[in-house]
Amino acid sequence: MHDDHFLSEVTLGRMLSMPAWKTAVCFGLGIVLAAQITIPVVILFPILVLLWGILLYARRNEQMSTALVLAALITAGSLYYQIHREPVPTALSRLADTRQKTTLLCTVESSPVQRKKGFSLFGNVIRAWNDSGIVTNAGPVYIRWYPGFRIKHATVPSYGDTLLLTGRLRTARGARNPGEFDFRKYLERHGTVYRFSVSGKGLRGHHPYHGFSVNRALNLLRNGIKNWIGRFYPKDTAPILSALLLGLRNELDPEINEAFISTGVIHVLAVSGLHVGMILVIIWVLLSRATERVRILITMPLLLFYALLCGAAPPVLRATVIAELYLLGRLLSRLSDSINLLGVAALLNLVLRPDDILYASFHLSYAAVLGIILIYPVLRAALASRWSRIYEKKLPGYIADLLLVSIAASISTLPFVLLHFGRFSLVGIMANIVVVPGVWRAACHRYCSD
């Protein structure tokens, strides 16, 4: 198999002719439409059956068949989203936004995130009550715990533990200004709109979970790696390393986080293709004495494990699927095309988590890769034809390619950056030239040196 085929230039016309990409685009469009316009399943299902029925009779007409297939895929996306759409539970509404304190009995459903004044986590409410009444099985809730001066001696709960808490239950508000972080949408993505604030004395009971859970094991391992980093690196460096390796940005200093956003290099802290590529290279070099078949068979499960360890967010899921399919193609000696693999990754992402297409991380992740695949070759060809001497020496050509890749990704993500954040950083184009190679060197120099 030839690696240059995987990285070959892909024109827009060729992209539109690829089955996986067309399927992902139409399926995703159906999800977006269903998220904006609620159409009952009892209407969507007969429409889908009707479209496929007409397709059977019109299959000899190529243009009509193509249009019917695309319409059927859009309808299938809408139907899939409506079936898997989980409405936010409203049982807690009768207890929320009152002056009364509420008591919750809940299980921990996420790894607690340590903050300057306490912890935050998601819990699943088993029972909740105050003077307004009592509710059971009320669904998820976002919990902020402020132990105060006891924070150093507080027992941090783990995934699966059961907690008995007393505090204030409120409904989260949405963003009030353009580009502002929408906390309510963030909570809705996790199945709730309620936040629960607990003071130091609000923890009334803590029962550890003694069974086995894959999510609990991954959370314990993730926290173990984070704590290991914290023991061996300074306090101002450890959170950055945790973000680079595991995508844990919650403990970053707000000023540092804002600096990464302002310079346009925040993607470095979001586990994505950059990080998956580094892990792949490190594993590949460590197994340099093994055959390619052995390398692939060991690398594939390790990449999947790394994606799960990082939470399988859209960027890391996209990069992992592409890497896995590429390695599988090499193992089976089959040719692969980057744009088609990207379509398969997007389709799998939408099947597993259809809501992802509604958020910025999904848009920026796939737009950046498309920009590199579609726009970068055009920019490089134009530069090479005009100033061919740049590529006669290795260093100038390397710098030029980094700049063109950054420009291509910036162009393709510009509409989504403006849509979600209301601003765009020109400094980021140049900053990526320094930051991205620096991250690669810092991560790989220990294992990839000659």
Determine the pLDDT at residue 27.
94
Instruction: Count up the domains in the chain and report the number.
Output: 4
Output the CA torsion 255→261→265→267 (10° steps). 110
pLDDT tens-digit readout, 81-104: 998 887 778 888 889 988 889 999
Determine the pLDDT at residue 437.
58
Nearest of 79, 157, 71, 167 to residue 122 by alpha carbon: 157
Q: Report d(CA 232, CA 241) in Å as an integer.
A: 11
CB atoms within 10 A of CB 173: 11
pLDDT tens-digit readout, 361-413: 788 888 888 888 888 888 888 888 887 777 777 767 777 777 787 788 778 88
Are 385 and 410 within one domain? yes
Determine the pLDDT at residue 390.
76
Q: Does pLDDT of 1 surpass 80?
A: no
Q: Which of 57, 84, 111 is the last residue of a domain?
A: 84
Mean pLDDT of 131-136: 88
Q: What is the DSSP string of 275-335?
A: HHHHHHHHHHHHTTTS-HHHHHHHHHHHHHHHHHHTT--HHHHHHHHHHHHHHHHHHTT--
Report the amino acid identity of residue 427.
V
Q: Is residue 146 a contact partner of residue 201, using CB atoms and an 8 Å limit?
A: no
Q: Which residues contact 268 (CB under 8 A, 6 or more apart)?
A: 244, 260, 274, 435, 436, 439
Q: Which of 177, 207, 237 is the last residue of a domain?
A: 207
Q: pLDDT confidence of 77, banded at 50, 70, 90?
A: very high
User: Taking the model in full, what pTM does it have?
Assistant: 0.73
**How many residues are recorded in the chain?**
450
Q: pLDDT confidence of 26, banded at 50, 70, 90?
A: very high
Report the amino acid identity of residue 43.
I
Q: Does pLDDT of 254 surpass 80?
A: no
Are 378 and 443 within one domain? yes
Are 260 and 407 within one domain? yes
pLDDT tens-digit readout, 224-250: 888 888 888 777 777 777 777 777 766
Q: Which of 207, 233, 266 is the last residue of a domain?
A: 207
Backbone CA torsion sign across 84, 85, 90, 96: positive
Q: What is the DSSP string of 32-95?
A: HHHHHS---HHHHHHHHHHHHHHHHHSTTSHHHHHHHHHHHHHHHHHHHHHHH--PPP-GGGGT
Determine the pLDDT at residue 265.
62
Mean pLDDT of 426-435: 62
Determine the pLDDT at residue 188.
84
Q: Is residue 365 a contact partner of residue 315, using CB atoms and an 8 Å limit?
A: yes
Q: Report d(CA 107, CA 157) in Å as an integer.
A: 10
Determine the pLDDT at residue 5.
39
Are 75 and 112 within one domain? no
Are 239 and 266 within one domain? no
Are 334 and 410 within one domain? yes
Which CATH number goes with the domain that contains 123? 2.40.50
Mean pLDDT of 156-177: 86
Q: Does pLDDT of 447 surpass 50?
A: no
Q: Report d(CA 18, CA 24) in Å as an integer.
A: 10
State the pairing for strand pair 133-145/162-171. unpaired
Are 270 and 366 within one domain? yes
Are 428 and 300 within one domain? yes
Are 190 and 281 within one domain? no
CB atoms within 10 A of CB 390: 14
Are 223 and 325 within one domain? no
Q: Report d(CA 193, CA 196) in Å as an integer.
A: 10
Q: Does pLDDT of 10 surpass 80?
A: no
Mean pLDDT in the chain?
Answer: 79
* Residue of 211 and 443 predicted with greater confidence: 211
Q: Does pLDDT of 3 surpass 50?
A: no
Are 299 and 361 within one domain? yes
Q: Residue 45: which domain range?
A: 3-84
Are 271 and 395 within one domain? yes
Q: Radius of gyration of the chain from Cα atoms?
A: 25
